Structure 1
Amino acid sequence: MEHPAPRTLAEIVTDGTIACADADAAFTALIGRPGGIEFNRDGDRMEVRAARHGAPDVSTAGTVVAEIRDGRWTWRSPRAADAAARFGIPQLSGTRPATDDLLTAARTLHGCAPGLLAPMPDGTTAVVCLDPPQPMGDTRTALITAAGIPIAGEDLPRALSGFAAIRGLDVRVDGPVWLFSDGAAIRVEDGRLRDIAGGLDIDPVRADALLPSIESQMYLDATFPGATAIADLVQGLITLETPTGPRMQARGVVLATVTGDTWCWGWADRNISAAPGTADCHRIRDFGRREGIPVFVSPTLPLSLARELDLVSAAKPVLGRWFHTTTQLTADTWAIVVFSDRGLVLPAPTVPVVGAVIDTIRGTDLGGIDAHRAVTAYARHRALGILPDPGSREYMQLRTQDGTVTVHFSPDGRVMNTTVG
């Protein structure tokens, strides 16, 4: 597809959003936490040296594309002047109030290179775009990085086609799937990146987690009925107390916080992300980056989407903790805590238990989850025998220690019912 020319400053910013985010991630990975950055200016050229802890310094150079003084941005870039005239975008020339959009636009016009703000002795700040080549990720890596930055749904198609144009890639759109000429592929749904090819899809992850999570919560509710929870983020502990007295303390991880209609992963919540009780939550983001699962990489999500995808359950196998509870952190924020404990172990699976667990999804549209996969994953999780043909689409027989549960599927793939024997 052909990428349309920009008509506004906002469209130039959108064009460079993904490539700039990838450049930032790659440059940050290169220099780590620098001990300091030195700038040496010569006219419109700038030498840059970043001191690294325990590693050789990084030396590079760039072009001064603008100057900022007293909050005012003045362009010094011939490329920007040319773009202002060619596309009729006045914000790309003259002096303007300094904004983040101007910085991103400058970077987009200069190959989406890393952009640095260099304080000068005369009180101005030089805006520097580094020279190519600079570190960058491959297409898949860049798209995974893009999953972690906010892109409005209506801007996503332009951001994707702009990224392809910047990278010199052809792109073909087939329904919700975007196919890039280097082999990368993504799926877009409802204005969001849904999946990135090359790893696991979110739906199989959800399928594998669904029934083990349901059974764990059934057991927790039966063992600690009506329990309330208190989280100790410093110690990484969750305490459950019931109205009748039973009490348990377990190691827990704050999976996410919920404020209003917003879900925020524990690793992204600045108020708690450094607490010991949140440390393991970073594994969710790492897993999402490795497998290309955008909802695990995006810091925040609409609560409605988190519920639709049942992200609480989906995250449990990544952390290896199958129980969860909620606790209030502040007047308007709740925490979702996942936990495990040696004293909280599921009893051996029996015919009544297995039937009851699977019956919770009887006749239910699972919203993208393959019910056959969900039942198979549950059987493996609980070490149940699958007889006689695990590939059957009409029924599945699960062997427990005290008998057999037969799961019957409807023609549209839903669990229809279970029978014994």
Structure 2
Amino acid sequence: MNLLDDAALFSYEHQLHLEEVLGEHSWNVDLQQPRFEFTGGRTLTCTRFHLLGSAAPGPRSWLWAWANPSGYPPEVTAASAALCDFGRRHGIPELASAEVPFDALPGPAGEPAFAAALLTEAAKAVSGHWTSYNGDAGGGTRAAFLVEHPEFRLPPPEPARVMRVLQEGITGLPLTDRRRALHGYAVRRELGVDWSGGHARLTGPGFEATVAFDEHGRLGELKATMSRPG
């Protein structure tokens, strides 16, 4: 699915940033209030959050929040409903169907955490909300959320962080089209990107990177030149 490649690297950097902001933590949510908090060294209350859905081992399926019979408030499920509309318009059954069997998804069959992560990545690319949280809802069920807070926004691109995202993301994430994933990241991170010469040249504040791929689309070479301002 192209949506997954589009989201992959930008999403990965957001999750790295979220881990750094939260550190060791616990989470709690009240879907009726609605209220979503992280607690640990301090309490951080999300300014907004969106329940996407839940993946349960019993039925071995993912259930989108808009279709959940529990009757959650519309502001909690609106993002999932918008994804349903998008899926119907573009012929993407995984987004348009109320319930998605694990067997209909690529990857490890019967893994709630994997199903939740996969569909959350697609949701990010469509919704434009890039920070997610996948939590244990009990009984092996995983609940997936998109969470918002000013501290979750990415800081300006920094050379070492960008290079880490490229190296770890391109080699470690389950990408179908690594070139597409790289291009999508550069555009969303507002980096310069030039594909002339059979490789990608990325430019940003204080650095320039060259990314080359082999004939199978795998990362072949990643080189960076960094400079200090003024």
TM superposition score normalised by structure 2: 0.83
- Percent identity (aligned): 27
Are 2:2 and 1:204 aligned? yes
Structure-2 residue corresponding to 1:401 = 205
Query: Quick one: distance in 2 between partners of 1:231 and 1:291?
Result: 32
- What is the CA-CA distance between 1:273 and the residue it aligns to? 4.9
* Aligned match of 1:222: 20
- 2:159 is aligned to 351
**What residue is the counterpart of 2:109 in the other structure?**
none
Deviates more, 1:274-283 or 1:305-314: 305-314
For residues 227-269 of structure 1, the C-alpha deviation after alignment (integer angstroms, 9 at most, x for no partner) is 3221221234321123x33534331111111211321111122
Higher relative CO (CA 8 A, sep ≥ 6), structure 1 or 2?
A: 2
Identify the residue that residue 276 of structure 1 maps to in structure 2. 75
CA distance in 2: counterparts of 1:218 and 1:385, whole angstroms: 22
Match of 2:178 in 1: 371
1:365, distance to aligned residue in structure 2 (A): 7.5
Please say if 1:255 is aligned against 2:52: yes
The alpha carbon displacement at 1:292 in A equals 1.1
Equivalent position of 1:167 in the other structure: none
1:409–1:280: structure 2 CA closer, same or farther, 3 Å change rule? Answer: same
SS class of match (1:360): helix
| Deviation for aligned residue 1:416 | 3.1
1-side partners of 2:24 and 2:212: how far apart?
A: 34
Report the TM-score, using the length of structure 1 for normalisation: 0.47
1:288 counterpart = 2:82:
no
Instruction: Report the CA distance shift for 1:227/1:417 in structure 2 as closer, same or farther (over 3 A).
Output: farther
Bigger shift: residues 411-420 or 281-290? 411-420
Name the residue aligned to 2:110.
Answer: none
How many residue pairs match? The answer is 214
Change (3 A) 1:254 1:272: farther
Would you say the 8 A contact 1:365–1:414 is kept in 2? no
Q: Max radius of gyration: which structure?
A: 1
Q: Which has more helix, going by share of residues?
A: 2
Q: Structure 2 unaligned runs (5+)?
A: 107-113, 226-230
**Match runs of 1:109-258 below 5 Å:** 203-242=1-40, 244-258=41-55
Is the Cα–Cα contact under 8 Å of residues 31 and 73 in structure 2 kept in the other structure? no
Instruction: Pick the aligned partner of 2:193 from 386, 401, 404.
Output: 386
Contact 1:251–1:339 under 8 Å retained in 2: yes
Q: Which amino acid in 1 is paired with 2:35?
A: L
**Structure 1: which 5+ residue stretches go unaligned?**
1-202
